[in-house]
């Protein structure tokens, strides 16, 4: 059985004082890996975080070093002790023009720099209603396999985040999530990827009251948590739901 991972995605939220208060309220949870993916400027502050919390970032440059103003490299994230970095979040795809190929190159840069990419995939509501959800997700994944190779993908974490469920309060049902997660795993196997140990997280309006049901699904290996990761009590409850 795969050990679950719960990753908090703070997005562009936080402040030195607010972060201190949040960190002070976090407690280690057994039986689950937990990571905090914070904005780049707070990586230094998060050097002092409660035990049992791994560090992650929300984006990484596709380039290794050099004249790329404003970019942050995988090596810099690794310097600060990051283990994970989110790549291809739907907000980056939709608002910052990241296409499948860019996401794949970022995932590759992350792996090359010693980080574990959390590669996000997911369909919009229009795509789901048109019956295209799986086609979209496998297209997004195929671009990543092409660049990372099968072995690289088997060392990555995937996150299924239906765009319509993110920040909307409308989570996918546990059955909807499981259907997609199982299809993703089957697709990986079809591609020749060793998918037995690949963690597939679900993200999109995970809250304390739906976490247990989602995490009980056989192919849901944890969660990527946005809004609820900013509320210590909610985040802890979600982590505990994954640790049972």
- Nearer to ligand PGA among residue 166 and residue 242 (C-beta): 166
- Nearer to ligand PGA among residue 113 and residue 204 (C-beta): 204
x/- mask, ligand PGA, residues 155-174, rule CB under 6 A, reads: ------x----xx-------
Helix (H, G, I), strand (E, B) or coil at 5: strand
CB of 79 to ligand PGA, least distance (A): 25
Contact status, residue 197 vs residue 158, Cβ threshold 8 Å:
no
Residue 205 lies near ligand PGA (rule: CB under 6 A): yes
Contact status, residue 238 vs residue 205, Cβ threshold 8 Å:
no
CB of 56 to ligand PGA, least distance (A): 12
Distance CA 174, CA 214 (A): 5
Is 190 annotated as catalytic?
Answer: no
Residue 117 lies near ligand PGA (rule: CB under 6 A): no
Distance CA 242, CA 240 (A): 5
Q: Which of 35, 157, 206, 214 binds ligand PGA (CB under 6 A)?
A: 206
Catalytic residue among 91, 123, 161, 178: 161
Dihedral angle over CA of 112, 114, 120, 121, nearest 10:
40
Per CB under 6 A, contacts with ligand PGA among 119-148 are none
CB of 34 to ligand PGA, least distance (A): 15
Q: Which of 5, 226, 240, 242 binds ligand PGA (CB under 6 A)?
A: 226
* 205 token code pair: 């309006």
* 88 token code pair: 């291809």
Owner of token pair 């993908």: 153
Beta strands in 10-102 (DSSP E): 33-37, 53-57, 82-87
Is 71 annotated as catalytic?
Answer: no
Q: Which stretch binds ligand PGA (CB under 6 A): 12-20, 133-141, 225-233, 235-243?
A: 225-233
Distance CA 63, CA 51 (A): 31
Which residues make up the interface to ligand PGA (CB under 6 A)?
9, 161, 166-167, 203-206, 224-228
Q: Which residues are catalytic?
A: 89, 161
């Amino acid at each position: 059985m795969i050990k679950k991972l719960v990753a908090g995605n703070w997005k562009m939220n936080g402040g030195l004082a607010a972060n201190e208060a949040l960190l002070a309220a976090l407690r280690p949870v057994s039986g689950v890996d937990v990571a905090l993916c914070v904005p780049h400027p707070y990586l230094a502050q998060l050097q002092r975080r409660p035990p049992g919390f791994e560090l992650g970032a929300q984006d990484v440059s596709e380039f290794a070093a050099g004249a790329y103003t404003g970019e942050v490299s995988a090596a810099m994230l690794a310097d600060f002790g990051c283990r994970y970095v989110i790549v291809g979040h739907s907000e980056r795809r939709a608002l910052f023009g990241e296409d499948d190929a860019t996401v794949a190159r970022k995932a590759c840069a992350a792996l090359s720099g010693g980080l574990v990419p959390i590669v996000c995939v997911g369909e919009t509501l229009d795509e789901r209603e048109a019956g295209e959800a799986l086609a979209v997700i496998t297209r997004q994944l195929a671009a990543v396999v092409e660049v990372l190779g099968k072995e690289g993908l088997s060392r990555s974490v995937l996150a299924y985040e239906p765009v319509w469920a993110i920040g909307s309060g409308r989570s996918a049902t546990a059955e909807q999530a499981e259907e997609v997660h199982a299809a993703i795993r089957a697709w990986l196997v079809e591609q020749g990827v060793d998918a037995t140990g690949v963690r597939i997280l679900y993200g999109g309006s995970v809250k304390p009251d739906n976490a247990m049901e989602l995490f009980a699904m056989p192919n849901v290996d944890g969660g990527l948590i946005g809004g609820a990761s900013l509320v210590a009590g909610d985040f802890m409850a979600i982590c505990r739901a994954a640790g049972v």
